[in-house]
Amino acid sequence: MTSLPRHNGILLHPTSLPGPHGSGDLGPAAYHFVDWLVGAGQSLWQVLPLGSVGPGNSPYISPSAFAGSELLIDLGQLRDAGWLSDADLKSVPAFPADRVDYDAVRRFRMAHLRRAAKRFFGGKKVPQRSAFEGFCADAHAWLDDYALFMALDMAHGGDGRMWQDWPAALAHRQPDALREARDRQGEEIRFWKFCQWRFHEQWAALKHYANARRIDIVGDLPIFVAAHSADVWSNPSLFDLDPHGRPRVVAGVPPDYFSATGQRWGNPLYRWSAHATEGYRWWVERMRQTMKLCDVVRIDHFRGFESFWEIPAEAETAIDGQWRPGPGEAVFDAMRRELGDAQGRLRIIAEDLGIITPEVNALRQAIGLPGMRILQFAFDGDPKNPYLPHNYDANTVVYTGTHDNDTTRGWWESLANPEKDYVRAYLGVDEAMDEDLPWHLIRLACASVASLCVIPMQDVLGLDASHRMNEPSRSEGSWEWRFSWQQVDAGHARQLAEMARLYGRRRR
């Protein structure tokens, strides 16, 4: 991905969309958002990972690196297919409009998905049954293990128990035990496959609608996977586990300016030697699946491919970790051979934030991937700060902030006066223009030499810190933000479209 087009777009996860069933989904509001992007002169819709949410409702800790989130399935389309009735969707809890109450949403949506699946399988065989069976056949390489994992998790999990706590024969995947489990859990397995079928069909239709209107989807691939996941359970040899299947070491980042103890994420680390032995097959298939869902892939924590912070599993913080070498260019060579274009290029964005060394930059440049620049990181008073626009190169993606940052208004309101003075001086504005500060940064991003420019929807709406998507130091209360169409006025789209025109970012 060396010659990037000069495009711009909006960062918004589908859960943040409006809608009647407690969280955004792949229903009418998603299609309306695509239309809004077109009217605003945008070319990109960036989302977060599309898998099921895990602990703390994070989409970055999912029970599968391949499956989609059941909570994103539009129930209205299930009604239209005849698997739910109008009466089923008439009695809806009083969900908050500005937040996702995940517990309530999960209860409501999963009950309706089970009802729809029961009607789908309980009726006479219809053409859709052939489509379902075709999907299951095409996706069997990951779907069979995922559906069995979820069925066993329902039967043996709960109360925070991990798969390592299941009966030993199941935890260690003894063939006789798995065969018996498939027979015993057949109906539950079929339910989870039904959900994946509906998610993938609905997402494919939405993506087709966006692409037909010249909107590309930018997806997100976390480098690590959850310990309690179908991926680790079904591929234990690819992860650094002890004889009981528990992580021997875990992922995180070392202490830095933002945290005196670092961040202990807790994900199991990879046995990269095992991945190399199999030609990085698991990674190739994971990327292949992600590329079916989106047009461009943002890889989270790219620096972990050069070297990663290894923390003893028993450690409570990230202080006592050590840097260990990653696979480097080899894993991307495997992807390029099978998934690259005619020139072997991949449409990937490297999330290269955090502790970035010359070696990490060299790896990104060797692969030809664009890096990321965040304007909120730019204004420390150093004119050589790499996040200041005058230091960018074109092979860059610029953001005002990401899902992990405060909103730009919240960030601005938290700055001390000397920092605010520096921002104003750089932007060439005075205090009288502070109210429009988010739009000044949006203009700065759009005008920069960076080929791609992506703006969080909160910044378009000028929202304060109470509307941020995620605060990495908090284990609860993140990932809940939603907006309403009442917050969006015609001027937002007009301003974005005008900037796209002025700065040569409109798709030709």
Q: Which amino acid is at 12?
A: L
Concerning whether 329 is annotated as a catalytic residue, the answer is no
Question: Measured over all CA atoms, what is the biggest interatomic distance in the chain, rounded to whole angstroms?
Answer: 73
Other Cβ atoms within 10 Å of 276 Cβ, number = 13
Encoded tokens for 319: 């202080």
3-state secondary structure 142-174: HHHHHHHHHHHHHHHCCCCCCHHHCCHHHHCCC
Residues paired with 250 in a beta bridge: 268, 311
Residues paired with 8 in a beta bridge: 453
Closest Cα to residue 457, out of 4, 6, 15?
15
Concerning whether 295 is annotated as a catalytic residue, the answer is no
- At a CB cut-off of 8 Å and minimum separation 6, what does 155 contact? 185, 188
Q: Spot the catalytic one: 404, 419, 434, 498.
A: 404
DSSP 70: G
Report phi then psi at 45, rounded to 5. Answer: -120, 110
Q: Spot the catalytic one: 25, 70, 231, 351.
A: 351
Q: For strands 452-456 and 396-399, give the pairing.
A: parallel
Concerning whether 406 is annotated as a catalytic residue, the answer is no
Rounded alpha-carbon distances, angstroms, from residue 130 to 133, 192, 202, 472: 5, 17, 17, 44
Q: Which contiguous run of DSSP H or E holds residue 320?
A: none
Q: Which contiguous run of DSSP H or E holds residue 8?
A: strand 7-11
d(CA 167, CA 98): 42
Q: Spot the catalytic one: 25, 188, 240, 300.
A: 300
Q: Which amino acid is at 235?
A: N
Sign of the C-alpha dihedral computed for residues 350, 352, 353 and 354 taken in this order: positive
- At a CB cut-off of 8 Å and minimum separation 6, what does 134 contact? none
| Active centre residues (catalytic) | 300, 351, 404
